[in-house]
Amino acid sequence: MNATLTIAMLTITEAVRRRLLLAFVAITVVVVGLSAWGFDRLSHTHSITSGENHLAVPEALILFMFMFSFVVALSASAIASPAISAEIESGVLTTVVTRPVRRTEVLLGKWLGLAALLAGYAGVVCALEFGVVNSVSDFLPPDPLLAGVYLFIEGALLLTLSLFLSTRMPTIAAGVIGIAVFGAGWLAGVVGTLGNALNVSALRTVGQVGRFLLPTDGVWHAAIYYLQPASLISQRLAQGGNANPFEAEGAPSWAYLLWVACWFLIVLIAAVASFERREL
């Protein structure tokens, strides 16, 4: 456990010194600033009614959070893809794994450090964006904490997958595959939503299979659910159901959350097994 924490701290230290966090926070502050201006304009516009405004603000917030969910997911892939492969290629890992530590501890330490960075980033993003929207538009999502947690989990799933790929593939291949799989998962979710809207079972199945194989889109929809106010949900229900990829039908089921946990554990165990067996 000590070795795991040592590697986790090392991972965080290196990320901080690379100014990775600073760059992300700087970009985030700029985007949040722009969103503040946008929400301010939305709140002061006279071209929509106050009722429409109460629906437009959470919808706009979901769109902004969608962008941040992309940033979180892509960042997760970008920081996890080189975590093992680049250090094998450079030789940095050789002196670490020849110490009296298990490779499992090294991999879990990397995961822990990267996940802590991701959690920190997701936390900062949610705090800033929700704070800005609340102060400008007087709106706070019904469960901002759970929305933030699901945003982090979405990134953590892709982080785990990219770390697994990193144990076997060169950095670029792991990164490209991780991002491509994430994009495909999101697209499958959109196709599934279309299937629901058009009542085409084949398209609906694509969405369901996609959320099963890579649960990032399913988890993102869980985050959406906790961003939506009751008024938005009842309006959608009044319109006849889910026909928008930026809306969620309901809270994630326990069965689905259990599958997400299983998926995470399967990929993490696969990453550990792959790294343990890798010849350096």
Partner 1 sequence: MPETPGSSLGVSAAGATASPAIHTVALSKRFGETVAVKSLSMTVQRGEVFGFLGPNGAGKTTVVKLLLGLARPSGGEALVLGAPLGDRETRRQIGYLPELFRFQALLTATEVLRLHCRLLALPKRTWVEEGRQALKTVGLLDRSHDRVGTFSKGMQQRLGLGVALLGDPALVVLDEPTSALDPVGRHDVREIIRGLRAKGATVFLNTHLLGEAEHTCDRVAVIDKGTTVATGTLDQLLGHHSRVRLKVGGLGERWWSGLGRFGRCQQDEEWVSVEGIDPSQIADLVDQVVGLGGRVEAVIPEHQTLEARFLELLGEQ
Interacting residues with partner 1 (CB under 8 A): 2-3, 6, 10, 13-14, 17-18, 90-92, 94-102, 279-280
Shortest spacing between CB 6 and partner 1, in angstroms: 5
Q: Which is nearer to partner 1, 94 or 135 (CB)?
A: 94
Q: Which is nearer to partner 1, 7 or 149 (CB)?
A: 7
Q: Which is nearer to partner 1, 20 or 60 (CB)?
A: 20
197, containing H or E segment: helix 171-198
Q: Which is nearer to partner 1, 117 or 267 (CB)?
A: 117
Q: Which is nearer to partner 1, 96 or 146 (CB)?
A: 96
Are 232 and 61 spatial neighbours (Cβ–Cβ below 8 Å)?
A: no
Shortest spacing between CB 277 and partner 1, in angstroms: 9
Shortest spacing between CB 19 and partner 1, in angstroms: 10
Shortest spacing between CB 83 and partner 1, in angstroms: 13
Residue 89 has a CB neighbour count (10 Å cut-off) of: 12
Q: Which is nearer to partner 1, 138 or 276 (CB)?
A: 276
Shortest spacing between CB 10 and partner 1, in angstroms: 6
Shortest spacing between CB 111 and partner 1, in angstroms: 17
